Structure 1
Amino acid sequence: MLIRLKSIDRKEESIMFNFPYDESEISNVYNQLDIEISAAHNCYIEEVVYDSDMNEVLKGKECNIDELNFLFKRMDSFDIKERKVFFASAFAENPKTIAELINISFNTHCYSLVSDFNNLETVGKDLYLSEKQAVAVKELDELDGESFAMGVIKNNPNSRITPYGVLYKNINEPEQIYNGKQFPQ
């Protein structure tokens, strides 16, 4: 992903980088920005190029290069549905730091996103599956998806309208996976 970064003092012109990097290559980013390796915020995100969703989430944030690299590696592992849930969650939660975004990336299972309400049977089964994460085929086949969907729509006080659809907080509780120091395995 192409991203324009500046050193934290923002005095120099921004430099374009293509994240994520292998661990052996990340030192090149530090060298080009003329900054030292640190756990503190050490760069400023000017722009994410060619990805308006990611630009909306990251533009203008101060960050740590290693955290940014880790986040982009996480994002590379997401399928289209997971990306939409991540961006909807980021929109709803309005995280201020890359560390918070990393934790959101590990907690997408705590949210259910509905973009199309035309078939409530399918919506209900999708909501159920995203909440339970794994169920037997027979259990899902026997589920009254429409009733489940209507129950979530009527009774969920944590719904948020986002540019990606309606985001529902499900029964899964978010965990702080990343502590700001050691990256999760």
Structure 2
Amino acid sequence: MMMQAVLGNPNHPEYGVATIPFPIPHDQYAHCMELLEALEIGDAVKADCKVEEVDSFYTVLKRTEMLTVNVEELNYLAKRLDSFDTGEAAQFQAMAHKLELFELKDPINLTFCCQQATVITVFSDLAAIGRDHYMNLHGGSASVDELNKLDGEETARRLIENGGGTITPYGVVYDNGMRLEQIYDGRFFPCYYYEPNAITVAVTSKAEPEDTEHITWMFLPMVQEEIDRTPLRGGIADPADVRLRLEDSHLPNEVNVLLDMEYETLSDLNELAEATDGLSKADMEKLGAVVTLAEPKSAAQIKNLAESLDLFGFAPSASTPEEYGKYMIQKSGRFDYDENLDAFYDYEKYGMECMNAEGGMFTDRGYVAYKGYYSMEEVMNGSQSSRMEMGGMM
């Protein structure tokens, strides 16, 4: 938790308040929205939450108290600030104080450019101040050779002697000509990866051109309440008006190329993301091979395959019957392999026998075969799960 805010209804203070943690944890999102809804606030787009109190390391945010804000903007700002290191935190707070920013749109935009400023909190180490200032002027990075040639103390002295610094509670800040650009327009949040996710989808309205910059970003998996609320910021209330584009994915490429975003739904994509979110690297490799074998036609079918990986045999990197036979005998755990008898194993023959019995195939990732009781078609359509549940009830 980066901060905690006490929010109330500006028009009905008698309704009471709700204390919300920011960034809102995924598993608490629905509950937090219920708390706000009970107060008749928490709209996805409107600024309808009065900030009664803020508790945060970022004390500059205290100036939002008694203002009316939008909860999603506050959540996005918290995500941005949660990723800052100590230096960036000082830059943000000092510049927010200097510029006297209040409306949440402006602090959000400041998070994208405050790194250009120089903040001096301790004047005793001029060399360090000079190095930091030089890096701030050069996009936050510099080569070792540049820093070795730099006279940090002289750079710091020139900065201080030239004036232009503003004293703030967070140090003396020099803006270095920084401009507060409108990266965030007040409606569409810039794409920002706060934490790892399985699938990133760009959501736009079909009423807009395909190359529109009015993009609502969705980082799947998300809880259903977020799935429902997020498109509203893009002015999309009707699911039929949604246009989807796959922007990024941690799934195997075999999965990505099969996803036809013209026909997929956010719900199906989200379920796929949930099913694959906890898969290990080895399981992701296996999923790529399984998809090649099964040839699913939709995210829903891929999700069912991801949930049924244990029904498939997989020999990573095996590309010949001999390699498959060697994997089965040496690494599958089905045999007590004795390396002293290695010369007597006919790996190719055993591999061929297995392949003939299984009907598997070689893929770019290795050999894969289906070993389940029901047909692969039933597995992909989820019908085997229904039959198993019915069988368990009888």
Shared fold (TM-score greater than 0.5)?
yes
* SS of match in other structure, 1:49: strand
Q: Aligned Cα RMSD in Å?
A: 2.0
| Mapped partners of 2:37, 2:117: distance in 1 | 39
1:53 and 2:59 aligned: yes
- Tell me what 1:106 maps to: 112
Deviations 1:154-183 (A, max 9, x none): 2253x2101111001114443211110100
- Tell me the TM-score normalised to structure 2 length: 0.44
Distance 1:7 1:130, change over 3 A: same
Distance 1:79 1:57, change over 3 A: farther
* SS of match in other structure, 1:117: coil
| Mapped partners of 2:110, 2:51: distance in 1 | 19
- Tell me what 1:69 maps to: 75
1:179 and 2:185 aligned: yes
- Tell me what 1:21 maps to: 24
Distance 1:52 1:179, change over 3 A: closer
| Mapped partners of 1:130, 1:39: distance in 2 | 35
Deviations 1:9-66 (A, max 9, x none): 2523222111112575363354243226242211111111354715523222211111
2:90 to 75, 84, 91: 84
| Mapped partners of 1:179, 1:52: distance in 2 | 23
1:43 and 2:46 aligned: no
- Tell me what 1:134 maps to: 141
* SS of match in other structure, 2:87: helix
Do the aligned residues in 1 keep the contact of 2:95 with 2:175 (CA within 8 Å)?
no
| Mapped partners of 1:29, 1:105: distance in 2 | 29
| Mapped partners of 1:59, 1:36: distance in 2 | 16
Unpaired stretches in structure 2, ≥5 consecutive residues: 192-394
Deviations 1:67-113 (A, max 9, x none): 01111111111112211211111111111201111011111122110
| Mapped partners of 1:75, 1:180: distance in 2 | 18
| Mapped partners of 2:179, 2:163: distance in 1 | 15
- Tell me what 1:95 maps to: 101
| Mapped partners of 2:190, 2:160: distance in 1 | 34
Bigger relative contact order, structure 1 or 2 (CA pairs below 8 A, ≥6 apart):
1
The count of corresponding residues between Structure 1 and Structure 2 is: 184
Do the aligned residues in 2 keep the contact of 1:2 with 1:49 (CA within 8 Å)?
yes
- Tell me what 1:150 maps to: 157
| Mapped partners of 1:180, 1:31: distance in 2 | 22
Question: Structure 1 runs of 4+ off > 6 angstroms?
Answer: none
| Mapped partners of 1:136, 1:36: distance in 2 | 47
AA partner of residue 82 (structure 2):
D
1:106-125 alignment runs, 5 A limit: 106-125=112-131
Sequence identity (%): 32
| Mapped partners of 2:58, 2:145: distance in 1 | 40
| Mapped partners of 1:143, 1:153: distance in 2 | 17
